[in-house]
């Protein structure tokens, strides 16, 4: 039965979207049908979960469903790690340089390649959802790398707060500064902060 297949997908992934149904050979209208019956609950456009299922990472559910290889970065990662006072109005998402753009509203994309993309990814799992977010140390380095997009003051604040809250060590930050080729930019800031 199609409803059982939808339930098994939700059990495995935490959420289900229309593309999951197409892959399983089920008509997309099954999602709205199950939502109308009260079995599923709509989280975002085209993304559903069980009606009584409220997840810790629900704000990122659409990102997880539509860009499973994407990584939460920059201001969104700072907010996730509780390092900043900034409240981004959109989700910052890193994707590999050659990946196709996911159709997600309210998302700012950053394209990275090689180790600058693949290093420093923490995977946080809750209720079947696997949220990929950069570690605090990698996030700080990315803030300096993209300082023209987010502002140098935010990058400096992220560095100070990360070290002050002991969310990362200088050595961890320096490791990612090497990976992202940001050592010359970050050296004076790391030397200033005691």
Tokens representing 134 are 């950069």
pLDDT in tens, 8-58: 887 777 778 877 877 888 888 888 888 888 888 887 777 888 887 776 667
**Element containing residue 93 per DSSP (H, E):** strand 91-96
| Pair 158, 129 in one domain | yes
| Pair 94, 127 in one domain | yes
Tokens representing 44 are 């975002």
pTM of the model: 0.79
The reported pLDDT for the residue numbered 155 is: 95
pLDDT in tens, 89-105: 899 999 999 988 888 88
Burial of 53 (0-12, 13-18, 19+ CB in 10 A): middle
What are the percentages of helix, strand and coil residues in the chain, rounded to 5? 50, 20, 35
| Pair 22, 77 in one domain | no
The reported pLDDT for the residue numbered 56 is: 66
pLDDT in tens, 124-176: 987 667 889 999 999 999 999 999 999 999 999 999 999 999 999 999 999 99
| Pair 142, 116 in one domain | yes
| Pair 115, 145 in one domain | yes
| Pair 101, 177 in one domain | yes
| Pair 50, 92 in one domain | no
| Pair 30, 49 in one domain | yes
- Residue ranges making up the domain that contains 164: 60-192
| Pair 83, 6 in one domain | no
Look at residue 184 and tell me whether its pLDDT is greater than 70.
yes
| Pair 29, 65 in one domain | no
Domain closes at, from 54, 70, 96: 54
| Pair 109, 137 in one domain | yes
Burial of 3 (0-12, 13-18, 19+ CB in 10 A): middle
Q: What's the total number of domains in the chain?
A: 2
Nearest CA among 138, 164, 166, 145 for reference residue 78: 138
């Amino acid at each position: 039965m199609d409803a059982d297949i939808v339930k098994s997908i939700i059990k495995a992934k935490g959420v289900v979207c229309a593309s999951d149904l197409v892959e399983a050979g089920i008509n997309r209208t099954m999602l709205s049908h199950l939502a109308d019956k009260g079995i599923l609950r709509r989280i975002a456009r085209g993304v559903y979960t069980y009606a009584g299922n409220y997840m810790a990472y629900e704000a990122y559910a659409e990102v997880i469903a539509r860009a499973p290889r994407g990584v939460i970065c920059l201001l969104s990662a700072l907010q996730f790690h509780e390092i900043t006072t900034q409240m981004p109005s959109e989700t910052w998402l890193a994707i590999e340089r050659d990946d196709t753009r996911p159709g997600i509203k309210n998302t700012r994309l950053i394209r990275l390649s090689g180790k600058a993309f693949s290093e420093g990814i923490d995977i946080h799992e809750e209720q079947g959802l696997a949220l990929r977010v950069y570690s605090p140390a990698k996030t700080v380095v990315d803030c300096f790398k993209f300082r023209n997009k987010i502002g140098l003051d935010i990058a400096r604040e992220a560095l100070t707060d990360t070290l002050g809250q002991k969310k990362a060590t200088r050595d961890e930050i320096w490791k990612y500064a090497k990976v992202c080729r940001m050592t010359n930019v970050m050296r004076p800031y790391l030397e200033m902060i005691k």
